[in-house]
Homo-oligomer: A and B are copies of this chain.
C-alpha cells in the first residue's frame, strides 16, 4: 500500500505540512516521487515515521532524532537513559515552580492587605527566588539531583505554619546582627552566629543551599540599595557588616 501525504498524515495523526517539513529537513523522505510530483510513502516510511513520533512524544528535538536514527552506531538504550535524566531534571524544576507558586498563592490568600514591611518581605523572597534561579543549574550540576530533589521536597512540604518560625528567625537574626555589629568584627563569634541565623532563615525560602549562592546574595545586599536600606534601617553599615560576616562564614 502506498500513501500520499494526506493519507499518511491521517494515519499518523500529524499534519501534511509536518510531512513536507520532515522531507525538507531530511528526516523522512518519501519512497518515491510521483510523475505529478506527489510524495508517495511506503511501508518503511510509515515505520520510520512511527519511530520519529515516538521520540518526538518524548520531547526529543527533531535534530536529535535525526542523528539518533541516521547514526549507524546508535546506542538507543543510552540515548533513552540520557533523555530520561533530562526529563527527571525537568520534573524537579517543575516541582520547584509549583511549590513556589503555591507559597505565593497561600501568601496572597492569607492576607490581602499587606503593610509596607510585608511587601518588602515579599520582595526579599522574590530576590531570593531569583537568585536561586540564577544559581540553580550550577548547583544541580555540582551536587547532583538527589540532594536537590530532597530539598525541593522539603520546601514543598512547607506550609503557612512555618511562617511564624521564619518570622521568629528573622527577629532573632535582627537582634543577633545588631549585637554583633557593636563588636565591629565580622569574624567574631556573634557575627558568625548571625551569619548562621541568616543561613537558617534562607533555608526556609531556598529550595537548596550553597555557600556560593549565599555569598552571592550577601554581595547583593550591598550592591542593591534596597537591601542596604532594609538592613541599615537600625544602624547604618549593618548591611556591609552582614555581607562581610557571610563572606567569612561561607569561606570556612
Contacts and interface: CB of A to CB of B under 8 A. Distances in A.
Contacts of A59: 97
Given A57-B133, A59-B97, A91-B94, 18 more contacts: A11-B223, A12-B130, A13-B130, A13-B133, A13-B134, A53-B130, A57-B97, A57-B100, A57-B129, A58-B100, A58-B101, A77-B108, A81-B105, A87-B98, A88-B98, A91-B91, A91-B95, A91-B98
A80 B97 contact: no
A241 B86 CA distance: 43
Contact of A87 (B54, B57, B101, B134): B101
22 contacts: A11-B223, A11-B224, A12-B130, A47-B123, A50-B130, A53-B133, A54-B126, A57-B100, A57-B130, A58-B97, A58-B100, A77-B105, A80-B108, A81-B105, A84-B98, A84-B101, A84-B105, A87-B97, A87-B101, A91-B94, A91-B98, A94-B94
A76 interface: yes
A90 interface: yes
A91 to B, nearest CB: 5
A96 to B, nearest CB: 10
B50 A127 contact: yes
A127 B109 CA distance: 45
Interface residues of A, number: 44
Interface string A78-122: 001101100110110011011011101100110000000000000
A147 to B, nearest CB: 20
A97 B76 CA distance: 17
A80 B101 contact: yes
A234 interface: no
Interface in A187-234: 220, 223-225
A1 interface: yes
Contacts of A83: 101
Max chain B C-beta neighbours (<10 A), residue from A59, A77, A101, A123: A101
A135 to B, nearest CB: 9
B133 A105 contact: no
Nearest to A109: B77
A53 B100 CA distance: 13
